[in-house]
Amino acid sequence: MVAQSTRWSPSQATTQKNCAREWVEENPFTAVMAVYGIGVTVGLLVGHTLAEAAGRHMFHHDTFTENLTSKIGDVLRSNLPKDISRYFS
């Protein structure tokens, strides 16, 4: 079996365009609400992404590894003799 070509001919593109235009003319409110919903969704996604990226630069929260390293250093400093613990400061 040979696979059929999925290329669009200009007549198929025109038919699809006319079909979409007819649907919008028949359902103007639904078309407006659909486009509005898509716009709001894209806007929220972009806004959230920008705010999240800006927030990371404004506040630094310690990662798990940084917290763990800090706790290990505190335990070593508090339990080792002062002569050795000064190297962990």
| Domain spans in the chain, listed from the N-terminal domain onward | 17-58, 61-89
Q: What is the pLDDT of residues 13-39, one digit of tens each?
A: 788 888 889 989 999 999 999 999 999
Q: By the 8 A CB rule, do 44 and 36 touch?
A: no
- Rounded Cα distance between 48 and 37, Å, is 16
- Rounded Cα distance between 59 and 65, Å, is 17
Q: What is the pLDDT of residues 47-80, one digit of tens each?
A: 888 887 776 666 666 778 888 888 888 887 888 7
Give every CB contact of residue 89 below 8 A, 6+ residues apart in sequence: 77
Give the start-end residues of each E strand in the chain. none
Query: What does the block give as tokens for 49?
Result: 């992404």
Give every CB contact of residue 6 below 8 A, 6+ residues apart in sequence: none
